[in-house]
């Protein structure tokens, strides 16, 4: 089996790659080659695996060559993030929309040549949902909630969902779109996503660093751990066409928590001194974006696949701490713990 992960150098992409390599199989087939492509090099441990091919550079520039390279499966995770897309419209259109269409056209050419459509998982986002004067956004949003994105990023993701659906309808690919909830806790440095603080207000205090929360403590949002997110992507890939139930995007499971709940969980796991490193300094740009996001989500279709949310946000924090302790050098991320 030959697989491609776009965005393979990113946190979720790299975690997905490690999980697949550790499993050794996907959908009952042995993984012989795993191609990782990103604008940055893949982590050294992945490159060291003989099954991995690492390709660095913009996805858009690689798609022409991909027309002659057959893959059994593709996980398309590469994307410019929400804050970047709002600040740089051209970047978002190029990185999210143009690259996705070019990739789909490359897979279409491969499928027509081989007579077998490539199975394709697109990582969409909860950002496809938003409020509209004509169609108020319910709380929580569900699989059948009409998307009305209020950001360039969300609109680009929704357009790509429909492209994946239509390429599937035409038989060009076997596609399915999984709507990822906001992933927390992400390790490393903050990124350009407007949602970055949902990790930062946990990650930085655990490292002994002050964290700024740009929104009110009452803000609620659907979150999922990295482990549950990767589990969902794999399960969506392995699902039969019938079990996936249609062609439209599927919500992945989440827990719906307020910022105050997150900080309560942080204090429960790590103590009051760690919690006290979080300071509230409102950022109107970020707060304005977050105000248009869902306060919660449900995932009934995913539950039919056997996917379920994390037990609690305290459990998510414990998973992050355990991951850091297992990672070489990861203890430095926990130097704020007593």
Is 244 within 8 Å of 284 (Cβ atoms)?
no
In DSSP notation, 42-75 reads PPHHHHTSTTEEEEES-HHHHHHHHTT---SEEE
Residue 232 half-sphere exposure, CB side, CA atoms within 13 Å? Answer: 33
**Integer Cα distance of 284 and 214 in angstroms:** 8
Match 């499928």 to its residue by tokens: 111
Of 129, 183, 133, give the one whose Cα is nearest residue 158. 129
Of 87, 79, 90, give the one whose Cα is nearest residue 128. 79
Task: Indicate which residues carry an active-site annotation.
Answer: 153
Alpha helix stretches (DSSP H) within 140-258: 152-169, 197-206, 226-238, 241-244
**Region for 195 from its dihedrals, namely left if φ exceeds 0, alpha if ψ lies in -120 to 50, beta otherwise:** alpha
Strand order across the 33-38 sheet:
52-56, 33-38, 2-6, 73-76, 118-125, 173-180, 250-251
Of 333, 290, 26, 197, give the one whose Cα is nearest residue 4. 26
Residue 228 half-sphere exposure, CB side, CA atoms within 13 Å? Answer: 31
Match 């059948």 to its residue by tokens: 144
At 321, list the tokens: 């701490």
């Amino acid at each position: 089996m030959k697989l491609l992960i776009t965005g393979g150098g990113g946190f979720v992409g790299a975690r997905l790659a490690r999980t697949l390599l550790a499993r050794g199989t996907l959908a009952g087939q042995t993984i012989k080659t795993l191609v990782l492509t990103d604008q940055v090099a893949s982590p050294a441990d992945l490159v060291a695996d003989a099954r991995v091919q690492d390709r660095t550079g913009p996805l858009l520039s690689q798609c022409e060559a991909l027309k002659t390279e057959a893959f059994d499966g593709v996980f398309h995770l590469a994307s410019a993030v929400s804050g970047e897309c709002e600040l740089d419209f051209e970047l978002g259109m190029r990185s999210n929309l143009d690259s996705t269409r070019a990739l789909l056209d490359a897979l279409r050419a491969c499928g027509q040549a081989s007579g077998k459509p490539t199975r394709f998982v697109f990582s969409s986002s909860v950002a496809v949902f938003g409020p509209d004067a004509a169609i108020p956004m319910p709380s929580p949003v569900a699989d059948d909630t009409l998307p009305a994105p209020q950001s360039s990023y969300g609109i680009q993701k929704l357009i790509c969902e429909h492209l994946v659906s239509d390429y599937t309808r035409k038989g060009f690919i076997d596609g399915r779109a999984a709507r990822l909830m906001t992933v927390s806790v992400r390790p490393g440095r903050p990124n350009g996503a407007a949602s970055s603080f949902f990790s930062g207000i946990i990650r930085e205090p655990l490292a002994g660093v002050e964290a700024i929360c740009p929104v009110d403590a009452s803000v609620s949002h659907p979150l999922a751990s990295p482990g549950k997110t990767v589990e969902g992507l794999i399960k969506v890939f392995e699902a039969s066409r019938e079990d996936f139930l249609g062609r439209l995007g599927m919500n992945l499971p989440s827990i719906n928590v307020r910022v105050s709940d997150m900080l309560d969980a942080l204090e429960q796991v790590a103590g009051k001194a760690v919690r006290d490193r979080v300071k509230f300094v409102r950022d109107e740009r970020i707060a304005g974006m977050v105000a248009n996001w869902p306060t919660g989500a449900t995932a009934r279709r995913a539950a039919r696949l056997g996917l379920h949310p994390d037990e609690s946000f305290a459990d998510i924090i414990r998973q992050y701490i355990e991951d850091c302790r297992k990672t070489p050098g990861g203890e430095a991320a926990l130097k704020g713990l007593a």
